[in-house]
Structure 1
C-alpha cells in the first residue's frame, strides 16, 4: 500500500512489520499530531491484506488459473483544483496488469471491461449505500485530507523550482529537442513557437518524467523541414511555462544546441567546412525541428495504490476495500 500526493511518496504500509512507514518529515509530524488516525489506518490496512488474498483466490477461479504468481491492484484518489475548487475522484482495480473494474462516480455504477468482472459489477452495483458513501468520500473527505497534506507539506508540495532548459541534438540529421529538467511541480507546459505563434502541426507530446531528486523533466520536439538555418534563432524558440515564474524562452540558436559528443552545432559546422575544403565533399544537411507539448494537469492529487505481493477528526483516510465476490465465485 503506497500513498502519494502530487507524485511525491508520502508513506507505505510494510506488510512484514505491519506498520505504516512515512517517507517525508512533514508526514512524521502529521502522524504525531493525529495518532488516532494513524492507529485506525494501520488496523484498516492489516485487514485489507486478508481481503486481497481472498480476491486473488476469486479471480484465479474466474480466469481458470490454478497456479503461478498473480497480482490484484487497487488505485484510488481524488483531485482538487486550487484555482476553481473543482474536485474529481476515482477507484479502479486491476488484475495481472490489466483493467478489471472501475467506479463511475457520475452514475455510481461499476464498469466491467472484461466478462470475468460481471459478477463483481452486479454485486457492487447493488450496494447503493456503499457507492453513495464512496461518492461523499471522494468529493469531501479525501479532498479534506488532501488540503491537510498540502498544509503540512507546504515546503515540499507547494514549492516551485525553476527548470533548466537545454537544446539537444543527437546528430546533424536528428531532431532538435527542447529539454526542460529540474522543475517542480510537474504541471508544466513546453512548446515550440514561430514568429510568436505556437506551433501545432506534427506535434508529438512529451511525457513528464520524474528525476531521482523529486523534480521532473520533459523533452519536446517538432519536425520542421526545409527551414533555412538563418531563420532558426530569428523565428523559432522553445517556451517553458510553469506557474509562479515568468515564461522561459530559449531561441533556436545553433551555437547553443548540444550534441551527444558535447559539441555545439556551430563547432560541428566549422569542422564540416574544414572537411569540405580538404576533401571537396559537399554535404547537404536536412534541418529538423520537433516539438511535443505537455498537457499536464493543474490539479493537486493524492493517489493510494494497494497491491497484494481541514478538520479531519473522525474521517477516514481511505474508503473501505471491498471483496470482489460474495465468496461463491
Structure 2
C-alpha cells in the first residue's frame, strides 16, 4: 500500500458510525515551495481536531469542543513546544534517509501515521503505525505478530534495531491502550458536535455538451455516504466514474459521480437517475437526468473549487500528520521509535530519530 497519501484521510468513519477512529499524521519535507517544512494533524472520525505547522509555530484546536475539552486546557503550550523540538528531529530524519538512498538535494518527504479504531458496540479495537519516505512505505508494524515490516532494504537496519529493543510491544500499548482510551473520551465529549446529520444540495454538472454529466453533492455530513447512477432502477457500473469524498472549507463534505452519455440517445436520458445515500438517513436523494437542469462549466459551484483546494492541501497535510514525539534519544544510534515517557495525557507522544551507525 502506497503511503502517498493518506486518502484514508478522505474515507474516514463518521461520528454517527459504530466504528470510531483517531488518526495522527506528521510530515516533514524539504524544498517543497510555499509549504511548511513540518506539519502535524490529528483527526477524530474524519474531522481535523488539531493542527501545527512550522510556519505558525503553534499547536491549535480545529474544533470548538476540543478547545473546551477539560484535559486540553493546559496542553497547548506543551504541544507547541514539543513540535518545535520535533521539527529538528524530522530534519535529521530527512538528512539520514537521503543518505541511505544515496540522494542529494531535491524534493523529499517523510510521512508518518498512527492511530486506532474502536467499535463502540462490540468493543473491538485495532491500531496501526506506518512510516513512509517519498511516497512509498518505509516501515510499518504488524500488531498481531509485533514484528516490523521493512519493504525497503534501507529500512532493514531500522527493523532489526526496533525488534531487538522490543519496540513492537511498547507500540502496541501506546496505540491500543492510550489511543483507544482517548478515542472513547472524544466520542463522549464531541458527540453533540459530531453526531449531526446535514443533507447536501445536489446538482448536475457538465463542462461541455459532449462531456460526462457529473452528479455533484456538497454540504453533507457525516462523511459516510454513497453515490451512484442507475438506469431503470438498476445500479450502473460501466461508464461511471466515482469520485472521492472530499472536505469543504466549512467542515462539511462533497462528492461526485460522473456518467458517460456518449452512447446514450437523448430519448433514453429519462431512464437515468443519480442516487445519493447518507448514513443514518432513511430516504435517498434522487436526481433525474434532465438536460434542462444541467449546469454548464460556467455555472460550476464555487464550493467544489474550494473543496478541491482544501483536499490538495490535505494531501500534503495528509502527507502530514499529528504525532507527538518526545525527543529523548537524540545522539543515540539508529532509527529511534516512539517514546511516551513524559507525554501529555491528551495525546500519544513519540520520538522517531534516524541516525545511522558509523
- The question of a shared fold, defined as TM-score above 0.5 by the shorter chain, is answered with yes
Aligned residue for 1:241?
277
Aligned residue for 1:72?
110
Pairwise mapping of residues 140-219 of structure 1 onto structure 2 (< 5 A)? 140-219=177-256
Aligned residue for 2:90?
52
User: Contact 2:224–2:278 at 8 Å: present in 1 too?
Assistant: yes
Pairwise mapping of residues 46-125 of structure 1 onto structure 2 (< 5 A)? 48-65=86-103, 70-82=108-120, 84-125=122-163
CA distance in 1, matches of 2:72, 2:322: 22
Aligned residue for 2:348?
318
- Specify every segment of 5 or more residues in structure 2 that has no aligned partner in the other structure, as ranges: 1-39, 301-319, 326-342
Aligned residue for 2:264?
227
Distance 1:110 1:173, change over 3 A: same
CA distance in 2, matches of 1:262, 1:71: 38
Cα displacement (A) at 1:195: 2.0
Cα displacement (A) at 1:225: 4.9
Residues 230-271 of structure 1 show CA distances to partners (whole Å, capped at 9, x for unaligned) of: 3322x32111111122211112223222223559xxxxxxxx
User: Contact 1:78–1:138 at 8 Å: present in 2 too?
Assistant: yes
2:144 is paired with a residue of what secondary structure? coil
User: Contact 1:159–1:185 at 8 Å: present in 2 too?
Assistant: yes
Aligned residue for 2:59?
20
CA distance in 2, matches of 1:75, 1:116: 19
Residues 85-142 of structure 1 show CA distances to partners (whole Å, capped at 9, x for unaligned) of: 54332222223444322222233222223221111111122232x2122223333321
Aligned residue for 2:337?
none
2:212 is paired with a residue of what secondary structure? coil
Residues 20-65 of structure 1 show CA distances to partners (whole Å, capped at 9, x for unaligned) of: 32222212111x4455666765665455344334423422321234
Distance 1:257 1:199, change over 3 A: same
Normalising by structure 1, what TM-score? 0.72
CA distance in 2, matches of 1:88, 1:96: 26
CA distance in 1, matches of 2:52, 2:74: 17
CA distance in 2, matches of 1:239, 1:163: 12
- Specify every segment of 5 or more residues in structure 1 that has no aligned partner in the other structure, as ranges: 264-302
1:305 is paired with a residue of what secondary structure? coil
Task: Give aligned pairs, total.
Answer: 282
Residues 252-302 of structure 1 show CA distances to partners (whole Å, capped at 9, x for unaligned) of: 223222223559xxxxxxxxxxxxxxxxxxxxxxxxxxxxxxxxxxxxxxx
Distance 1:16 1:307, change over 3 A: farther
User: Contact 1:73–1:306 at 8 Å: present in 2 too?
Assistant: no
Residues 210-230 of structure 1 show CA distances to partners (whole Å, capped at 9, x for unaligned) of: 211111111102335543433
Aligned residue for 1:305?
322
CA distance in 2, matches of 1:94, 1:102: 9
CA distance in 2, matches of 1:261, 1:92: 42
CA distance in 2, matches of 1:34, 1:306: 16
Cα displacement (A) at 1:13: 3.7
Cα displacement (A) at 1:204: 2.8
RMSD (Å) for aligned C-alpha atoms: 3.3
Cα displacement (A) at 1:187: 1.3
Aligned residue for 2:68?
29
Deviates more, 1:87-96 or 1:118-127: 87-96
Cα displacement (A) at 1:316: 6.2
CA distance in 2, matches of 1:219, 1:17: 34
